[in-house]
Structure 1
Amino acid sequence: MSNWADLTTGKRLKHLRGSDLTQQGLAEAAGVSLALVQKAEQDRGELSVGSLLKLAHALRTDVAVILGQQAPRRGMSRDDRAALRHLSDAVHESALGEWDGISDPSTLDELSAARDLAWAAYWASDTAKVSSLASKVLMEGQVRYSSAAGAERERLALVLASTYRVAASCANGFGHRDLALSALTSAKLLAKEADSPVVSALLESTLSWIYLRGAQTCRAVTVAERAAHVIEPSFSKASRPEFLAYGRLMISAAVAASRREDERTADDYISQAQAAAARLGRDEKLHGTSFGPTAAKTEAVGIHVALKNYGRALKLASQPEMKQLPKTMSKVARNRYKLDVALAQCSAGLYDQAADTLIEVGLDAPQWVKHQALPGVIGRRLAKVSTTRVRHISELIGVPLIA
């Protein structure tokens, strides 16, 4: 594809629409006429601000992307767009109290089970399932929460907070920052009412990630540092949930510091995370978040890659326990780690190994990998050695790696 800014508005619209959405489908989703879409894609006439906003909303992108002022992320499938739209409706309507028509909401135990399934779907990169389950919990949970009291109300608040958090994580993964922040705002209010320091800490970890995705690295570090200071455990008295939340926050701070190329700070936070992992002694999961020895080591590999310490990253990745990752590790976490390894391999001149690792990731998580930036970076580096090999990989995994 040519430079995004060099394309006409019509060509950019056509590219954003993709092959799975017809012009008629876009017109209906945006609430405009088919003629308007056809003229826009043919570059006949100027689009009004109102039409641009409607088209951007329907395409789940920004007006700046349509106008060529910024490049788009990899295009979402029609199913992913529909799932995120459904999730967005649930996040906003549940927070606003628009839950009319739900006369018999699910029980607390049923909602808690659905919340857990939503997190499992998120870590399996199943956007449609996340949307379906999370939307159900948010809408029905808010109905029950509005009339609950005492211990039941506190438990419902935690279930809802965790569900808003999975919605925020899902939205952030697709670059929908506003939806992510909206969901997280509702989650933080509920966690505060339930007086849960651990859940509040995990929400701050997600907020740090949102800032990191938005290239606000200083803010990402500050958020994680501040939250870690609040929950910092006494290593002789702390509970296991506190160690898990603290360790995850240390990882968030280390990742953000590495993006600022602050190696000293990143190393300090990695050490703190590894100490918390050692105290846990095994990998654990709480409120959709996993942490333990495996997470501390795999995240450390990615941090060293970001710092361009490729030798350290590959040395860590070559340890026996890293060769056979636990089956309990989520698909997303596993493949994110493997992309870091592939980049380190590529940077160390291990091109065949990097290509094999990239193929492995693409075949294991074909939908998830389309929304990641690293495959393109790796592809461009591999293309300097063999464009034919890269084009073959692109066809194999269904991701355009080079123009």
Structure 2
Amino acid sequence: MSNWADLTNGKRIKYLRGSDLTQQGLAEAAGVSLALVQKAEQDRGELSVGSLLRLAGALKTDVAVILGQQAPRRGMSQDTRAALRRLSDAVHESALGDWSGMGEPSTLAELSAAQERVCATYWRGEFGEMSELVAKVLLEGSARYEQAAGYERERISSILALTYQTASSAAVQLGQRDLALSALTSAHHLAKDSGDAVLPALLDSTLSWIHLRSAKVPRAVAVAERAASRIEPAFSKAPHPQLLAYGRLMIAAAVASSRRGDPVSADDYLSQAHAASARIGHDVTSHGTHFGPTVTNTESVGIAVALGNHGRALKLASCTELPRSMPKLARNRYKLDVAMAQCEAKLYDQAADTLIEVGRDAPEWVKHHALPGVIGKRLAKVSTARVRNISALIGVPLLT
């Protein structure tokens, strides 16, 4: 096979489909027309983000693989592969009770501090350091959990569940769906012992995201909606953690609804998220999750982009200020949405500058997302030379 990045999208789709799956079979599995599959493999026309998600789901791969940003199973740096291996070992070995040869595990206070660092490194996109911390918390925490009782057992179960959740989120970012589901399964089991009603709801928010990335959009909506109904707050007296979890679930449902082209449902869910953030009144962090006015505003931009309302997206973006405290990954994911809206509005220079900002700020993280490739294709219609320059600057192949 030629260098994966040198192939066209159509050739990559055809290669991933293989000889065992016909074009008709791929169309049926993805829920798209046969004509769309034929045009895609012949590189005629451009695929929407929604079509890319459906094809990636049917081909059991990540959108980044179809776009050539990531080769099948080996499109990441050596450091990221090593981090992913540590992450996988930690998730599976801790779940299987394999912590033989380990010395005295860390104290409850030490484990709690390490778990907070796990969240911080994840949101900075530092997956190498994060994977080392995850291994420490999961292995040592699991060993202590087996001996703990009462309050200590509840606290450790919460620490472990949150760490598994972060590991799951990192696995999703890196295109490892099975690992993400495995980690989240362990998190759900532990959450039952935590005595924390908010924690299972936040885990379901992550599950909704996994389903969305797997092109299972109806399931993504259903999971978020069902979890939200279980913790729906009385807005006049609900504590911040409950409002945060409910708002996050409403955003998950809104995003998924936008991906299936349902603006009515998306707006309805989004209005509930805005109500929750307004009740809190400011950005907050709980259980390693961020929520508040900034989150609802930035997610509103992404939802408008997904619904094709690029003018509205840019208007919302012009009224959105990003606080310095906004996590790096959240900030850059938002900027990709802005770049997409700029591109569709034919603000090509602005879109290029925004894409460069993202690539320079989060060079490894950006390789695992579909939007840079989509934006690159749009920009190439104006200037392939400019796109080649951007590819060189951010280290992501944008032209195939």
Bin of the TM-score, shorter chain as denominator length: 0.7 to 0.9
- Asked whether the 8 Å contact 1:304–1:312 carries over to 2, the reply is yes
Give the Cα–Cα distance (whole angstroms) in 2 for the partners of residues 384 and 266 of structure 1: 31
User: Alpha carbons of 1:271 and 1:370: their partners in 2 closer, same or farther (altered >3 Å)?
Assistant: same
- Asked whether the 8 Å contact 1:145–1:153 carries over to 2, the reply is yes
Which residue of structure 2 lines up, in the alignment, with residue 151 of structure 1? 151
Give the Cα–Cα distance (whole angstroms) in 1 for the partners of residues 9 and 78 of structure 2: 22
Query: Max radius of gyration: which structure?
Result: 1
| Unpaired runs of at least 5, structure 1 | 11-62
Which residue of structure 2 lines up, in the alignment, with residue 384 of structure 1? 381
Give the Cα–Cα distance (whole angstroms) in 2 for the partners of residues 334 and 4 of structure 1: 28
Seq. identity, %:
63
Moved over 4 A (4+): 4-7, 69-73
Letter in 2 for 1:389: R
Give matches, 1:218-237, under 5 Å.
218-237=218-237
Which residue of structure 1 lines up, in the alignment, with residue 120 of structure 2? 120
- Asked whether the 8 Å contact 2:160–2:187 carries over to 1, the reply is yes
> What SS is found at the alignment partner of 1:103?
coil
Give matches, 1:158-307, under 5 Å.
158-307=158-307
Give the Cα–Cα distance (whole angstroms) in 2 for the partners of residues 384 and 71 of structure 1: 17
**C-alpha distance after superposition, 1:16-51 (max 9, x if no partner):** xxxxxxxxxxxxxxxxxxxxxxxxxxxxxxxxxxxx
371, 374, 388: which one aligns with 1:374: 371
Which residue of structure 1 lines up, in the alignment, with residue 40 of structure 2? none
Q: Does 1:337 align with 2:334?
A: yes
> What SS is found at the alignment partner of 2:365?
helix
Which residue of structure 1 lines up, in the alignment, with residue 47 of structure 2? none
Give the Cα–Cα distance (whole angstroms) in 2 for the partners of residues 6 and 376 of structure 1: 16
Deviation at 1:396? 1.3
Which residue of structure 2 lines up, in the alignment, with residue 3 of structure 1? 8
Deviation at 1:73? 5.6
In the superposition, the TM-score normalised over structure 1's length comes to 0.83
Letter in 2 for 1:202: L
Letter in 2 for 1:380: K
Give the Cα–Cα distance (whole angstroms) in 2 for the partners of residues 273 and 185 of structure 1: 26
- Asked whether the 8 Å contact 1:64–1:70 carries over to 2, the reply is no
- Asked whether the 8 Å contact 2:335–2:358 carries over to 1, the reply is yes
Q: Does 1:360 align with 2:362?
A: no
Give the Cα–Cα distance (whole angstroms) in 2 for the partners of residues 209 and 235 of structure 1: 25
**C-alpha distance after superposition, 1:176-222 (max 9, x if no partner):** 11110000000001111223210100000000000000000000000
| Unpaired runs of at least 5, structure 2 | 1-5, 16-58
Give the Cα–Cα distance (whole angstroms) in 2 for the partners of residues 355 and 128 of structure 1: 29
Give the Cα–Cα distance (whole angstroms) in 2 for the partners of residues 169 and 293 of structure 1: 22
Higher relative contact order (CA 8 A, sep 6+): 2
Greater CA drift, 282-291 or 72-81: 72-81
Deviation at 1:2? 1.8
- Asked whether the 8 Å contact 2:69–2:373 carries over to 1, the reply is no
- How many aligned positions are there? 344
Deviation at 1:70? 6.8
In the superposition, the TM-score normalised over structure 2's length comes to 0.83
